[in-house]
């Protein structure tokens, strides 16, 4: 089932989500639906608040970003760590962030048409459960870490635009307000909090 994606401006995107307990929700079906919704919107990550759920779960599949978009080094995957990087993170907890912060241009399915450079630490250590409730602890770096950091923020009620410098924030204010009202082009179904 494809959920509509919640657009910027909805208070659910600002809520800190709650942990889920085994048996409380059908975690496998939720994860499946989230993947379907994410693929339908050509995203590489999707967090529960973006589909209106206030629980600690997000899904990622970075494989579309494994290959470089320009043709120059054809055949050579630009980001080999992203091949097969498809995962569900249930009740995740980032326990360590390290390395020099680096800039990467981020976008968000809840904020279509807007991309901006965000600085984040290069490496993370994260503890999480899979959909069989098994606990994992793993280290991620590069773009894999980046995708996780972005999605993890959603569970904390944070969005990538929060990190932008004041001037840039000022410049995108009108655009964000338009998105919240439904004045936006997205080729997937969305739900708008301030739509008249
Ligand atoms: Zn996002």
* pLDDT tens-digit series, residues 107-158: 999 999 999 999 999 999 999 999 999 999 999 999 999 999 999 999 999 9
pLDDT of residue 128: 98
pLDDT of residue 66: 84
Identify the residue with better confidence: 164 or 195. 164
pLDDT at 174 > cutoff 90 = yes
What residues act catalytically?
A: 151
At 68, list the tokens: 């470089």
pLDDT of residue 165: 96
Question: In the predicted model, what is the mean pLDDT of residues 182-191?
Answer: 96
Long-range contacts of 96-103, Cβ-Cβ distance < 8 Å, separation of 24 or more: 96/124, 96/125, 97/121, 97/123, 97/124, 97/125, 97/149, 98/122, 98/123, 98/124, 98/125, 99/123, 99/141
pLDDT at 71 > cutoff 80 = no
Give me the residues near ligand 1 (ion), CB cutoff below 5 Å.
108
pLDDT of residue 76: 76
What's the whole-number average pLDDT of the chain? 94
pLDDT of residue 77: 79
At 150, list the tokens: 């972005």
- Lowest model confidence (mean pLDDT) among 26-30, 71-75, 104-108, 175-179: 71-75
pLDDT at 68 > cutoff 70 = no
Count of CB atoms situated within 10 Å of the CB of 123: 16
pLDDT of residue 180: 96
Distance from the CA of 82 to the center of ligand 1, in angstroms?
A: 18
Distance from the CA of 136 to the center of ligand 1, in angstroms?
A: 23
What pTM does this model have?
0.94
pLDDT of residue 103: 97
Domains of the chain: residue spans and CATH: 5-195 (3.90.45.10)
pLDDT at 31 > cutoff 80 = yes
DSSP 4: P
Distance from the CA of 111 to the center of ligand 1, in angstroms?
A: 7
Percentage of the chain lying above the pLDDT 70 cut = 96
Task: Give, in degrees to the nearest 5, the angle at Cα 46 between 8 and 76.
Answer: 120
Distance from the CA of 26 to the center of ligand 1, in angstroms?
A: 23
Identify the residue with better confidence: 74 or 39. 39
Q: How many Å from the N-terminal Cα to the C-terminal Cα in the chain?
A: 26
Distance from the CA of 108 to the center of ligand 1, in angstroms?
A: 4
Distance from the CA of 49 to the center of ligand 1, in angstroms?
A: 10
């Amino acid at each position: 089932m494809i959920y509509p994606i919640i657009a910027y401006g909805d208070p659910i995107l600002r809520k800190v989500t709650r942990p889920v307990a085994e048996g409380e929700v059908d975690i496998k079906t939720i994860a499946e639906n989230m993947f379907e919704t994410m693929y339908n919107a050509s995203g590489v990550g999707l967090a529960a608040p973006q589909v209106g759920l206030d629980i600690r779960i997000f899904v990622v599949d970075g494989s579309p970003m494994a290959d470089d978009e320009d043709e120059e080094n054809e055949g050579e995957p630009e980001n080999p760590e992203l091949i097969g990087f498809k995962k569900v993170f249930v009740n995740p907890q980032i326990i360590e962030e390290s390395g020099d912060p680096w800039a990467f241009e981020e976008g968000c399915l809840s904020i279509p048409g807007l991309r901006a450079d965000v600085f984040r630490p290069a490496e993370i250590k994260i503890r999480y459960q899979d959909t069989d409730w098994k606990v994992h602890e793993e280290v991620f770096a590069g773009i894999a870490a980046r995708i996780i950091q972005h999605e993890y923020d959603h569970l904390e009620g944070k969005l990538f635009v929060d990190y932008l410098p004041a001037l840039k924030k000022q410049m995108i204010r009108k655009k964000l307000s338009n998105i919240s009202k439904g004045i936006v082009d997205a080729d997937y179904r969305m739900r708008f909090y301030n739509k008249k």
